[in-house]
A and B are shown apart, each in its own frame.
Chain A
Amino acid sequence: MKSHIKNSTDYLIKQLPKATAYVNLNMNIIHISDSWVNTFEFSRNLSDDSNILNAFPLLSNEWQQDLEYAFLGFKNIARKDKYFDRDNKLNWLEWIIHPWYDEKENVIGAIIQIENISKTIELEQKVEKLELLLNAKSEIAKIGSWEYNVITNKLTWCKMTKLIHEVPLDYCPSIEMALNFYKEGYSRNLVRQRVEKAMKDGDTWHEKLQLTTAKGNDIWVQASGKAIFDDGKLVGLIGSFQDITEEVKVQQKTKDSEVLLRTLIDNLPLNVFIKDLESRKTLVNKSECDYLGMSNDEIIGKDDFELFHKESAEISRKEDLHIVQSLTPMIRKETLNIKKDGTKTMFLTSKIPLLNDYLEPTGIIGFSLDITHLKEKEKELRRLVHITSLQNKKLINFAHIVSHNLRSHTANFSMLLGFLIKEKSDEERENLLNMLISESDNLLETIDNLNEVVEINTVQNQVSKPIHINTTITKIKKSIKSLLRHKKSRIKNLIDDSVYVNGIPSYVDNILLNVISNAIKFEDPRKECVVEISAKKLKKYTVITIKDNGIGIDLEKNKTKIFGMYKIFHQHNDSRGIGLFISKNQIEAMKGKFVLRSKVDKGTTFNIYFKEND
């Protein structure tokens, strides 16, 4: 009977779904479920009287404790521990041991239920790990999350989200409170729109927004979210929330730096450019754009041959190659740039090789300063210095002339007066007085002449105007009629009636009169005197040429004296040195010049250059 019961109980227990074993007070297995045997690869031959402690030898101590406790009638709590199976694989086991009572409530053994919880433990560990990872990530990236349950109308913020908002950890926001953290205006309006749309259409959102934290700090966040539907019905919203203030600040800083750099290079009074190794422009500033007359986009990518005249491009390319090959900068070199349209510009250019982290050249950065203007100024300055030194020379010369002329007269006065004082003879006194008067007349004339020269050189308000040259010549011919008749001279005027010169009328009259009468005065008595007058138009001047066949002059010998005051070269009674001296001053006052060619006994060619209007 016992056996029968036993057997029927045994069969019952055998079928228990959970791994279960019954042991007697000797810890020998009385019943064991198939699930135990199958799950833990217990051979069925683990006979009924096998000691349970042999089942998991590693756990025998703990089991013994639990069993003894159960034998005393106490229920153990579930315990778990690891064990290694036959393949030496780590497993987790959860067991619970309760006392086994007979019908009379006597403890006759213990009931052991075990479960392999390796999978659960593994999952738990995985979850734990993930949680840790998530927390670490969220802390590092400052990414928080939130969840909104539509049904309970409850908004949950994670710790990081709270930290970002700078609220205490026990803070419980409502959805309205949460939205109000966003800055009024753009940010708040946008997030509201997005949330509403997500709730309606199930859209996700991802926006860069500004909010003000509980402590009043303005920050930038990347807010994302999406709606969650269950069976087509909205149940909630979830989202992440990242503090990107630093990033935005860095971006802003980069942007600011870029703007600053751009503003700086665009407003430099310098042309700035960067070229790649093929001499193609990769960056140009506004000055360079203005200079080339092209937009930034038109210039970028073009090389010198596409932007400049071939001649300039070749030089520039050669310089570039030298710079990147030798890695030596070219500093402050005067370069002539010729654009496609032929415009020439003088630049003071510096070109520096651009290197990457490995110190390899990647291109060239260049700066050029337009010095065309400076160059012109320099030229002008040189010209002015030249003029000044000429004028200075002229002034010194004039001072000498003045002092010499006045001195020779006063010396004569002094001498004659010395004689006069001592002279007793009336006749001689009369003679001396006449000489004094004549000397006085000479002095007056000298002063008049000197004054005329001074006026030519100082009076600047004389007005230049076009002068019909043939009218002037006709007038001169008339005034020297007697001279012409006396010398039996002929004037051959070849000038076309359309010729005008630009000048001060009285000066032009005087110059022509002087030059023409000189030509006649210094005729060669052995020949028929012919004075030929012609005109020629040059770029900046109209040249009137007065050619005679007179006695000529040795220009080599008289080079320094020819236009000097009171220099007379020929023994002609009516020659006075003052004429050409004044004429020379007059033509120079009109920015013109004299050019002479002469050969003794052959004649003189006198070219008068009248400056054209600029």
Chain B
Amino acid sequence: MINSIFIIDDDAITVFGIRKLLATVVSCTNITNFSNGKLAMEHFENLGNDNELPDIIFLDLNMPIMDGWEFLEAFIKLPIKQKITINIVTSSINSLDRDKSNTFKNRTHHKITYNTKPLNKDEIQNITNPAKQQH
């Protein structure tokens, strides 16, 4: 059961696409989007309790103000016990970015996956299925 999904991306079309794909595979209606990492971090810092934490985060890398990496760096420092799936979705096909994402895997208990845009239905399913079973 997926209660909540966050999409952190400054590109409206990508947000639209992820929402549309999600609608076909999960019944979650609580989807929130943030146009950069800083807005998302502010949201986490102001959360009342763990129930409001998302199960899945779709994270873009190239964003203004606070980019995906900066967000990730800040996020893993948050005292969150719950295991959250953070799915990096980027248009970058630079292998350095993929390598960098791997370094985060060892530093956190959260699950970190890496996908390049455009996402398709299968990939969305692979991301959401394990999260569904956790609950």
Contacts and interface: CB of A to CB of B under 8 A. Distances in A.
Interface stretch (A72-80, A82-90, A186-194, A403-411): A403-411
Interface residues of A, number: 23
B92 A411 contact: no
A567 B1 CA distance: 37
A408 B16 contact: no
B112 interface: no
A440 to B, nearest CB: 11
Q: Is the interface of B mostly helix, strand, loop or mixed?
A: loop
B62 A404 contact: yes
A407 B65 contact: no
A418 interface: yes
Interface stretch (B43-51, B78-86, B114-122, B125-133): B114-122
A519 B12 CA distance: 28
A439 interface: yes
Contact of A412 (B65, B93, B117, B120): B117
Given A415-B119, A418-B118, A408 B91 contact: yes
A407 B92 contact: yes
A439 B16 CA distance: 13
Contacts of B64: 566-571, 575, 577
Given A418-B120, A570-B65, A407 B14 contact: no
Interface in A86-124: none
B62 A415 contact: no
A86 to B, nearest CB: 132
B62 A419 contact: no
A11 to B, nearest CB: 154
Contact of B117 (A403, A408, A571): A408
A407 B92 CA distance: 7
Contacts of B13: 412, 415-416, 435, 438-439
A55 B20 CA distance: 168
A519 B117 CA distance: 35
Contacts of A418: 118, 120
Contacts of A400: 94
A435 B117 contact: no
Contacts of A38: none
Interface of A: 400, 403-404, 407-408, 411-412, 414-416, 418-419, 435, 438-439, 566-571, 575, 577
Given A407-B117, A435-B13, A435-B16, 9 more contacts: A407-B92, A411-B14, A412-B14, A416-B13, A418-B118, A439-B13, A570-B65, A571-B64, A577-B64
